[in-house]
Amino acid sequence: MGWIPDEGKGLPPPGVVNRNSIWLGGMGWCAAMLHNAIKHRPPLKSGVHRQVLLTTIGWFLGYHVTKYENYVHAKLDREMNEYMKLHPDRFAPKEKKTFAEIVEPFIPVR
Amino acid sequence: MSATGFLARSLFVHRVGSRSVFTSSKRDTNSPNWLRVGLAFGSSVFLWSLLFKQHSGDVLEYKLRNNID
C-alpha cells in the first residue's frame, strides 16, 4: 500500500473479515438506508445497489485501515521492546511474596 | 415612498419579462436508472475482487518474507 513502508509487508495481513471492515461496511450500509429514509423511500427495500456499493466501499477501506493499524502497533511494540532491552535496570522483575507472608494473624475480637 | 409602497407597485409589473427554454418534469421513480444500477453493482464487484486479490497477495508476501511453507 502507499502508506505502509516495506518492513510492514512482513506482518501477517488481516483477514478479509476484520473489525474495521465490519464497522465501516455497516456505516456505509446505514448511510445508504439513511439516504433512503430522508428521501421518503422504503429504507431496506429500495436502492439495493446503493446499499451494496456503500457497504463494499466501507469494507474495502476498513481492510486497509486494519492493515495500517497493525503496522503502527507493531512498530510501537518493537520500539518499546528495544527500549526495555537497552535499559534492563528499569524493568527489574519484582520479587513476589506469597499471601502467607503478608497476611497478619487473625485475632477475633468478641 | 415607503418600502412597502414600492413592493405593492411591483404587483402591477408585467410578470413574464423574459422567456426561458428550460423545461422540467418530475423524476420518474417507477423505472430504475439501469445505467446507474449497473455501474453501482459493477464497481462493487470490482472492489470485492480487488480486495480478495490484494488479500491473497498480502498473504503470499507475508509467507515469502518469513519463509513459511
| pLDDT-above-90 percentage for chain A | 66
Option in B50, B52, B58 nearest A13 (CB): B58
Dig out the grid coordinates for B4 from the structure: 412597502
Q: Does pTM top 0.80 for this prediction?
A: no
Say what the alpha-carbon torsion angle B35, B38, B40, B44 is, to the nearest 10 degrees: -160
CA distance A39 to A58: 22
CB contact under 8 A, B55 and A56: no
pLDDT reading at B13 higher than 80: no
H-only helix segments in chain A? 19-38, 48-86, 99-102
Judge whether B46 is closer than 8 Å to chain A, CB to CB: no
Q: Residue A92's pLDDT is what?
A: 86
- The CA distances from residue A79 to A7, A34, A83, B10, in Å, are 14, 44, 6, 76
pLDDT reading at A71 higher than 90: yes
Query: pLDDT for B38-60, tens place per residue?
Result: 999 999 999 999 999 999 999 99
ipTM computed for the complex: 0.78
Exposed, middle or buried: residue B5 (CB in 10 Å: 0-12, 13-18, 19+)? Answer: exposed
Option in A12, A52, A63 nearest B40 (CB): A52
Say what the alpha-carbon torsion angle A44, A45, A47, A53 is, to the nearest 10 degrees: 60
Chain B residues within 8 A of A13 when measuring between CB atoms: 55, 58-59, 61-62
Dig out the grid coordinates for B30 from the structure: 417507477
